[in-house]
């Protein structure tokens, strides 16, 4: 069954246009609306016919832009549904198209694969999906609210054995409670990506609480986020090497070497507050090789956030290149679409303001890029960027606020607005 999407990207660069066409076609090929689990897209190793927590969280923005927000929402509901005390407030790490725990990862509630950043990653994803869609279920649905609450209380209490407020892995627990998305033999007690994902979850949930009118709870979790950020900044910074540690070992000492996900995901989740230290962390990322295409797919997110548009663009093209090994991994096509929309074209929806911000980051070699059918809120938006102007079209939907370079205007149904580029 073919899954429809109105998204189309054209460009002065045939290479970019071909990359976008491939990414859309590949992403939609992984989506399904006819299986027992409901709407879903493959978000795991191809062939497993399953979706896992980390992949869904990272792929969700590209899916939203393609118009697959309902698919992501159903998968997030599945994760929320299966959180349980018998699994120590974990859920199923990976769920099949039949709505069952993937047998590659799950034997029973006492023996299953689980990466500890996952609950936090899903909460952050839900907040970002709300910003993109404006769907009130992300703020009000009892299944999600239960998942948020249990993940930020009982889950942390169960896995935080030393009382420092951060879950940790203990020797002998095997695959059940891995302290990082980095899946290797080091077996750290805590990794930087776990701290960063927890920070993102605290931040997202504080915003959810704020919109719900839960003032005290919003303040509580905002403070928790600030305290965790302060702890990371003071305890995880290696002044001698001018870098952050990527992992804490079981004896409480820090791993001295670069630690892939533990080193670059704090930038992705926005954990690092100091601009100077962000620059140091980015230099550290650039100086080290990623392990696989999954890790590479995070780099454009990080680079666009840091204003490194040329490097981000090159990596998107590399990810989509037919010669790149394992480019068929689902995360590649979905994140390519996500980064083309949010990074290259600079689309940033803010549902609580019903506002679409646009801040394009075109590399020097591109003369123009235009996209049609970008799904955001209940709209389809068109966007063209060239050397002289930014043009936004409300292709489908009610009036919506749009902004570019500090200029805010109301975009009526069917209307097209042109802004003069400011550099």
Tens digit of each residue's pLDDT (9 = 90 or more) over 175-212: 999 999 998 889 999 999 999 999 999 999 999 999 99
* Tens-digit pLDDT profile for residues 264-274: 999 999 999 99
Share of the chain above pLDDT 70, in %: 99
Question: Would you mind telling me the total number of residues written for the chain in this entry?
Answer: 423
Task: With beta carbons less than 8 A apart as the criterion, state whether 94 and 102 touch.
Answer: yes
By the 10 Å C-beta count (0-12 exposed, 13-18 middle, 19+ buried), 45 is classed as middle
* Tens-digit pLDDT profile for residues 272-309: 999 999 999 999 999 998 889 999 999 999 999 999 99
Contacts for 185 with CB less than 8 Å, ≥ 6 apart: none
The pTM assigned to this predicted structure is 0.97
Residue carrying structure tokens 């102007």: 389
Stated as kind and residue range, the H or E segment containing 372 is strand 368-376
CA atoms within 13 A on the CB side of 386: 9
Q: State the pLDDT at residue 4.
A: 87
For 84-149, give the DSSP string.
BGGGTTB--SEEETTSSB-TTTEEETTEE-EETTHHHHHHHHHHHHHHHH--THHHH-HHHHHHHH
R_g (Cα) of the chain, nearest Å:
21
Q: How far apart are CA 247 and CA 182, in angstroms?
A: 10
pLDDT of 245 above 80: yes
By the 10 Å C-beta count (0-12 exposed, 13-18 middle, 19+ buried), 222 is classed as middle
Tell me what the mean pLDDT of segment 334-350 comes to: 98
Q: State the pLDDT at residue 143.
A: 97
Q: Closest Cα to residue 211, out of 136, 112, 307, 311?
A: 136
Region of poorest pLDDT, from 154-163, 237-246, 414-423: 414-423
DSSP designation for 396: E
Cα 35 to Cα 7, 38, 45, 328, 330: the distances in Å are 24, 6, 18, 22, 18
Q: Closest Cα to residue 306, out of 281, 288, 325, 326?
A: 281
Cα 412 to Cα 313, 400, 401, 402: the distances in Å are 32, 7, 9, 10
E strands, 180-242, in order: 190-191, 237-238
What's the token pair of residue 223? 């403070």
Q: Closest Cα to residue 317, out of 341, 295, 339?
A: 339
Q: State the pLDDT at residue 423.
A: 52
Q: Phi and psi (nearest 5°) for 283?
A: -60, -35
Count CB neighbours of 106 within 10 A: 19
* Tens-digit pLDDT profile for residues 312-341: 999 999 999 999 999 999 999 999 999 999
pLDDT of 1 above 60: no
pLDDT of 368 above 90: yes
Stated as kind and residue range, the H or E segment containing 156 is helix 154-159
Task: With beta carbons less than 8 A apart as the criterion, state whether 27 and 328 touch.
Answer: no
Task: With beta carbons less than 8 A apart as the criterion, state whether 107 and 40 touch.
Answer: no
Task: With beta carbons less than 8 A apart as the criterion, state whether 135 and 71 touch.
Answer: no
* Tens-digit pLDDT profile for residues 69-103: 999 999 999 999 999 999 999 999 999 999 999 99
Q: State the pLDDT at residue 205.
A: 98
Task: With beta carbons less than 8 A apart as the criterion, state whether 133 and 86 touch.
Answer: no
What's the token pair of residue 398? 């009610």
What's the token pair of residue 254? 């820090």
* Mean residue pLDDT across the chain: 96
Q: State the pLDDT at residue 277.
A: 97
Give how far the C-alpha of residue 95 lies from the chain's centroid of Cα atoms, to the nearest Å.
Answer: 19
Q: How far apart are CA 363 and CA 340, in angstroms?
A: 12
């Amino acid at each position: 069954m073919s899954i429809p999407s109105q998204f189309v990207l054209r460009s002065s660069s045939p290479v970019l246009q071909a990359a976008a066409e491939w990414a859309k076609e590949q992403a939609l090929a992984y989506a399904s609306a006819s299986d027992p689990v409901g709407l879903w897209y493959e978000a795991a190793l191809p062939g497993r016919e399953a979706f896992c927590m980390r992949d869904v969280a990272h792929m969700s923005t590209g899916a939203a832009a393609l118009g697959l927000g309902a698919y992501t929402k159903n998968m997030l509901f599945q994760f929320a549904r299966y959180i349980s005390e018998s699994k120590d407030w974990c859920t199923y790490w990976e769920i099949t198209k039949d709505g069952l725990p993937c047998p590659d990862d799950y034997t029973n509630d006492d023996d299953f694969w689980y990466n500890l950043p996952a609950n936090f990653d899903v909460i952050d994803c839900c907040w970002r999906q709300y910003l993109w869609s404006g769907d009130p279920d992300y703020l009000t649905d009892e299944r999600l609210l239960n998942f948020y609450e249990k993940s930020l209380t009982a889950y942390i209490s169960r896995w935080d054995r030393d009382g420092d407020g951060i879950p940790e892995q203990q020797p002998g627990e095997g695959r059940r409670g891995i302290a990082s998305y980095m899946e290797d033999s080091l077996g750290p007690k805590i990794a930087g990506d776990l701290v960063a994902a927890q920070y993102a979850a605290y931040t997202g949930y504080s915003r959810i609480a704020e919109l719900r009118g839960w003032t005290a709870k919003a303040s509580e979790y905002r403070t928790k986020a600030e305290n965790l950020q302060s702890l990371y900044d003071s305890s995880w910074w290696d002044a001698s090497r001018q870098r952050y540690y990527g992992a804490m070992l079981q004896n409480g000492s820090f791993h001295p070497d670069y630690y892939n996900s533990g080193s670059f995901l704090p930038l992705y989740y926005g954990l690092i507050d100091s601009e100077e230290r962000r620059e140091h962390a980015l230099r550290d990322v650039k100086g080290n090789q990623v392990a696989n295409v999954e890790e590479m797919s995070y780099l454009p997110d990080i680079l666009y956030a840091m204003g490194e548009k040329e490097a981000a663009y090159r990596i998107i093209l590399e990810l989509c290149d037919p010669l790149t090994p394992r480019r068929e991994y689902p995360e590649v096509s979905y994140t390519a679409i996500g980064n083309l929309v949010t990074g290259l074209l600079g689309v940033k929806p803010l549902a609580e303001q019903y506002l679409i911000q646009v801040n394009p980051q075109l590399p020097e070699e591109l003369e123009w890029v235009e996209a049609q059918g970008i799904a955001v809120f209940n709209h389809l938006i068109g966007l063209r960027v060239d050397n002289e102007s930014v043009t936004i079209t409300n292709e489908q939907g009610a009036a919506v606020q749009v902004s570019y370079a500090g200029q805010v205007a109301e975009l009526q149904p069917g209307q097209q607005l042109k802004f003069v580029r400011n550099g």
